[in-house]
Amino acid sequence: MKALLSVFFLSFFVGISAQITLNVSDFANSGDTVRISQAAGTGLDFASTGANYTWDFSALAATSQYLKEYNPIGFASLLVFGTYGPVAPTNYRASYFNPTNDLPLDQLSQFLPVSLSDLNQYTKRMTDSITSLGYSISVNGQGVPFKSDTIETRYKLPLNYNDYHYSRGYTYIDLNPVIDFKIKQYRQRTTNVDGWGTIITPKGTFQALRLRHDIAEIDSVYQTFFGAGQWFGTPPIQRTEYEWFANGEKEWVLKATETNGTVNQVEYQEDYLGLDASLIESTLDASIGPNPAHETVFIDAKSPVYLAQIFDAAGRMVGSTSLNNVLTYSLDLNALHAGTYRLILSGIHGSKEFPLVKF
């Protein structure tokens, strides 16, 4: 009898810590929603991993939240529905779409004679994979689809410890005949399932697989409305995404994004906390120009400004200048490559963010 009990308890505890497998049923489908918290990951180790590992992120404290929605294709515009809906070629029939910030539309649309908004990414959910089919952009209020010429595989299923896959995606966006403006996006993704074990988050404790995605992206933009038509490249994006998945959770239970060795974003599933995601409050009365700029951009403020910071499209700070509480300043851009950036001015009366294009 004791021998039987010993076998029972041994089997029970081994089962608790056993490796899990991820299948398509563990990923979201059309109509699902997931509540996501965002937090600073300062002082936490997101890179360490291995077999039967325990990751303790219970100390994370949310600073904002948002609801991630997996929208049915029927909610898309008629043109988009025809491109990604049930009448589309089989490999482009999307399961759902999500808002995304994969392309720097917020920065670029400031300088276009048309209104660009509502960038959405379209996903196909299949038994053997989760793929990215392309985008849609609202151009002057009308949703316009842009299929990826090369479909990127985000997840190759089923997923088990030590699995590996490589994928790439290529998307060409041409806004002609509305405007002579084009974007090329080229991405390479390498995914390793490099850990399994137990993850502890503010929501609870889960048996999980850990995935590491190494992503390299190069975007190019073509325009003719500032001088002669030309292509210019935005700063290359090199980032690592760490994701922890558990069975039945629809999405990763925690995700950390690392750029140049620094974790700059941590997101995880959590119950509703009454927090809303926010942007930098534009309380500083200031302006900049010219924009686009080549060598210099001029700052003109109504109250003293003490700091100017420039961030590239991947969120990396590429320039920081102390301004000593000035009202006007000539900011040198010669050290920057041509591309799109964010300029953040900080002063005694608050901060203000500007999109900035260097040509």
- In sequence order, what DSSP letters do the residues of 109-127 get, joined into one string? GGGSSS-EEEEEEEEEEET
Residue 9 lies inside a defined structural domain of this protein: no
Domain ends where: 269, 302, 324?
A: 269
Q: Which two tokens stand for residue 133?
A: 């089919």
CATH of the domain at 293: 2.60.40.10
Residue 276 lies inside a defined structural domain of this protein: no
* Beta-bridge partner residues of 34: 68
Helix (H) or strand (E) holding 234: none
Instruction: Give the closest residue to 284 by CA, choosing from 344, 355, 333.
Output: 344
Helix (H) or strand (E) holding 82: helix 78-84
Instruction: Give the closest residue to 338 by CA, choosing from 219, 256, 238, 257.
Output: 219
Domain ends where: 269, 304, 324?
A: 269
Q: Based on the structure, what is the number of domains in the chain?
A: 2
* Residues 231 and 333 placed together within one structural domain of the fold: no
Give the model's pLDDT for residue 248.
96
How far, in Å, are 38, 131, 226 from residue 54 at the CA level? 21, 30, 54
Residue 260 lies inside a defined structural domain of this protein: yes
Residue 217 lies inside a defined structural domain of this protein: yes
* Residues 259 and 346 placed together within one structural domain of the fold: no
Residue 11 lies inside a defined structural domain of this protein: no
Domain ends where: 269, 298, 331?
A: 269
Residue 68 lies inside a defined structural domain of this protein: yes
- Cα distance between residue 56 and residue 300, in whole Å: 47
Instruction: Give the closest residue to 124 by CA, choosing from 159, 97, 95, 102.
Output: 95
Distance in Å from the first CA to the final CA of the chain: 80
- Give the domain extent around 320: 286-358
* Residues 51 and 188 placed together within one structural domain of the fold: yes
Residue 169 lies inside a defined structural domain of this protein: yes
Q: Which residue in this structure is represented by tokens 């190759």?
A: 156
Note down pLDDT in tens along the chain; length 359 residues: 444 444 344 344 434 568 999 999 999 999 899 999 999 888 899 999 999 999 999 999 998 888 898 999 887 778 899 999 999 999 999 999 999 888 767 666 666 777 888 889 999 999 999 999 999 998 887 889 999 999 999 999 999 999 999 999 999 999 888 888 889 999 999 999 999 999 999 999 999 999 999 999 988 888 776 667 788 887 888 899 999 999 999 999 999 998 877 787 899 999 877 765 444 444 678 889 888 888 999 999 888 888 888 887 766 778 888 887 888 999 999 999 888 888 888 877 777 888 888 88
Give the model's pLDDT for residue 16.
52
* Residues 190 and 303 placed together within one structural domain of the fold: no
- Cα distance between residue 110 and residue 270, in whole Å: 35
Give the model's pLDDT for residue 95.
96
Give the model's pLDDT for residue 109.
67
Q: Which two tokens stand for residue 27?
A: 């990923």
Residue 281 lies inside a defined structural domain of this protein: no
